[in-house]
Amino acid sequence: MATSRDDKKLTFRKFEDGKNTWDRWNDAIFEGDHSHKCPTYVHRTPPCQGSCPSGEDIRGWLDIVRGIEHPPEGVSMQEYAFRRSTDANPFPAMMGRVCPAPCQDGCNRNEVEDFVGINAVEQYIGDAAFKEGFKFEAGAALTGKKVAIIGGGPAGMAAAYQLRRRGIASTIFDDHDKLGGMMRYGIPNYRIPRDELDRECERILEMGDIEFKANTRVGRDISVDDLDKEYDAVLWALGCWIGRGLPLEGWEETPNCVSAVKFLEQFNKGKMHYTANRIVCVGGGDTSIDVVSVSRRIGTLKDYNEKPEAAVNGEIEQEDVDLSLKKPCDQVTLTALFPRDQMTAAEHEVNDALTEGVEILNEVMPVEIVRDADGRATALKLVDAKWEGNGPVAIEGGKEYTIECDLIVSAIGQGGDMSGLEDYANERNLIDADKYYQVPKRPGHFVAGDIVRPHLLTTAIGQGSIAAESIDNYLKHAELKKRPKVDKHHFSLLDKMKEAGLEPEPYTVGETRGTSEQKFAIHNFEDRSKQEIITADKLFLGHFEYTDRVLRSEDVPDSDHVLGHFEERMAGYSDEQAIEEAGRCMSCGMCFECDNCVIFCPQDAVFRVKKSEATTGRYVDTDYTRCVGCHICADVCPTGYIDMALGE
């Protein structure tokens, strides 16, 4: 998980140990031309984007918010950032709140002091779209093709969105009342505000020719054969709604042992308003945090006498009762196999749970369910443990713990509900996929999301996008091309130049030499973004001063005030805060117009282009009649955008 650094220690160095003296620039100026190398401008993928499973152009929309990349005339910064962000991910408000942010783990700014608050800026973009009523642009003209999408969660909705942009209609089948999948039924409302979730789902449907059939399960209410007859392709985006039980004797037979998936689904459906007095949840990820945080919020009744599993399993529907009839749960415990700093849950979620009164036991594993004469669990036994090889092992001579409880919740993973669809299930009760997200040996069938492999919401969104592209190619009978090494939604300099009215002229001159003054191509530029991710050692980190991250404010109740507290946890940025935090982005792999190369070039060979000819990535140019190959411009480029390569 992304972890803030609090030691205030700057770590940037341009040199390795033992190489702490700068060569004489005279040598570079007068001898460097022997290399015959001159600067070329090279676009690479930043590691934030390289770490993003949905492949967002993160650097791009950060540069838009900070004011480096300018929107077209008549488009606000907020709308332009929204357009760029949603090219890959149609749920910026949701992902800005709940994504565990692998992009922040990858951020090169971690090598200076602390990552850029990418999630927070993304939430700002999503919230601005909500307030301003931004809508998606109409998709391409309809092709006449139609796709059946099984599942209305992030993968299915992202695929429907990307297909409609390509002119392909779709019908989404889901066995719930509303769209959203795990965003709606797996994550509580104080983390995801339902009005914004509704809006982000509606915005996709408003593109037109995307139909939603609620409470419809394929394999029960409609057959796969019927889908094959009516639709040109099928996308399986079922999600994983069956929680894994603890691998302990008697788990399946013990009535008050339940899955986190069911627990959260019933709460989010509004059918569970209180729970047992003593809860223990085994996990360590975000789902387990949601279980214990929800338990602290809904509490229990002062005269509680129900069987807690009845509400979790949907056997009863609880009425919402007055807060005066409730009391906090006496005990809510989360157990995790890994140390606190290695839990897969986001760091701030773990800290918030502790503030709310959750007890967390780390580096332990459950070994036995203690049951009474009626076969009900009364306690869970655990021992000190560690991860060794491919699984947990008890530590010899370690402690044993017994946690008394009324309900045991398992949050150690989940699988697919393939009832009625057994022919499509593999041995793990998931659906196999190839690299194009096709279902092997089933032409016209594709798959995306957790049903491929349970992972993050943003992973499902990214897979939905690739699956949509594969479906488009399948429907066109086009060859499926090899996916790029860095398979993301990349910034296109050519598209940016077209947008700015700087599109290259048609090539009509025939074979030429010395063409740098001609306007028929983008000269001295190379796009390696589909092949390379730029690492911190390619940057001039000495350019960046220590700058504290702008933190979002959080509404986290303490243990005395958590009962009945359902206000949204994460407050968004103001305009000023978003611009300030986006300004911390180092724009890795793309010019951010710092002027270092212009200022430090001893030959005045590097110069700013005319404002009328400038745009993102085309801020500077080189006069190669002046350049002597001294490589100073490349040395002082903070973003690694300059390579001494021309002439090799």
DSSP 27-78: HHHHHGGGG--EEEEEE-B-HHHHT-TT---HHHHHHHHHTSSPPPTT--HH
State residue 515's pLDDT score.
66
Range with lowest mean pLDDT among 3-12, 110-119, 220-229: 3-12
Mean pLDDT of the chain: 93
* Contacts of 407 by beta carbon, 8 Å cutoff, 6+ apart: 256, 258, 275, 276, 278, 279, 280, 308, 309, 312, 377
H helical segments located in 250-355? 260-268, 286-298, 308-312, 347-355
Confidence of residue 520 (pLDDT cuts 50, 70, 90): confident
Judging by DSSP bridges, how do beta strands 414-415 and 242-243 pair with one another? antiparallel
Q: What pLDDT, on a 0 to 100 scale, did the predictor assign at position 4?
A: 42
pLDDT band for position 630 (50/70/90)? confident
Q: Is 495 exposed, middle or buried (0-12, 13-18, 19+ CB in 10 A)?
A: exposed
Is the pLDDT reported for residue 184 higher than 70? yes
Mean pLDDT of 414-429: 94
CA distance 613 to 82: 25
- For residue 427, pLDDT beyond 70: yes
Predicted confidence at residue 648, as pLDDT, reads: 54
pLDDT of 57-104, one tens digit each? Answer: 999 999 999 999 999 999 999 999 999 999 999 999 999 999 999 999
**Cα 626 from chain centre:** 46
Amino acid of residue 294:
V
Characterize 383-413 residue by residue with b for buried, 16 or more Cβ atoms within 10 angstroms of its Cβ, and e for exposed. bbbeeeeeebebeeeeeebebebbbbbbbbb
pLDDT tens sequence across 277-335: 999 999 999 999 999 999 999 999 999 999 999 999 999 999 999 999 999 999 999 99
Give the pLDDT confidence score for residue 625 in this predicted structure: 86
Whether 389 shows a pLDDT value over 70: the answer reads: yes
CB atoms closer than 10 angstroms to residue 18: 6
Do 439 and 446 contact (CB within 8 A), yes or no?
A: yes
Q: How confident is the model at residue 647 (pLDDT cuts 50, 70, 90)?
A: low
Mean pLDDT throughout 198-208? 98
Share of the chain above pLDDT 90, in %: 87
The residue with greater pLDDT, 396 or 15, is: 396
Q: Quick count: other Cβ atoms within 10 Å of Cβ 127?
A: 21
Q: What is the pLDDT of residues 546-561, one digit of tens each?
A: 999 999 999 999 999 9
Give the three-state DSSP class for 218: strand
In the predicted structure, residue 31 carries a pLDDT above the cut 70: no
Taking the mean position of all CA atoms in its chain, how far away is CA 474?
A: 27
430-451 per-position pLDDT tens digit: 999 999 999 999 999 999 999 9
- In DSSP notation, 77-105 reads HHHHHHHHHTTT-S-HHHHHHH---HHHH
Q: Within the chain, how many helices (H) and strands (E) appear?
A: 20, 23
pLDDT at residue number 514: 63
Helix residue spans in 114-223 (DSSP H):
118-132, 154-165, 182-185, 194-205
Asked whether the predicted pLDDT for residue 585 surpasses 90, the reply is yes
For residues 458 and 489, is the Cβ–Cβ distance under 8 A? no
* Distance of alpha carbon 644 from alpha carbon 41, whole angstroms: 9
* DSSP bridge partners of 280: 333, 408
* Confidence (pLDDT) at 509: 74
- Domains belonging to the chain, first-starting first, are 25-134+489-646 (no CATH), 146-241+416-475 (3.50.50.60), 243-415 (3.50.50.60)
Residue carrying structure tokens 């601005």: 128
pLDDT of residue 505: 85
Closest alpha carbon to 55 in 95, 94, 2: 95
**Residues 6 or more apart in contact with residue 543 via CB below 8 angstroms:** 594, 596, 636, 638
Instruction: Kindly report, residue by residue over 481-506, the tens digit of the pLDDT.
Output: 899 999 999 999 999 999 999 998 88
pLDDT, position 30:
55
Per DSSP, helices labelled H in 356-505 are: 457-475, 493-499
What's the rounded Cα separation, in Å, for the pair 28 and 461?
Answer: 49
- Coil, strand or helix at 336: strand
List, for residues 241-268, the tens digit of each pLDDT value.
999 999 999 999 999 999 999 999 999 9
| Segment 226-234 mean pLDDT | 97
- Band the pLDDT of 5: cuts 50, 70, 90: very low
DSSP label of 474? H
Token code pair at residue 66: 């900070």
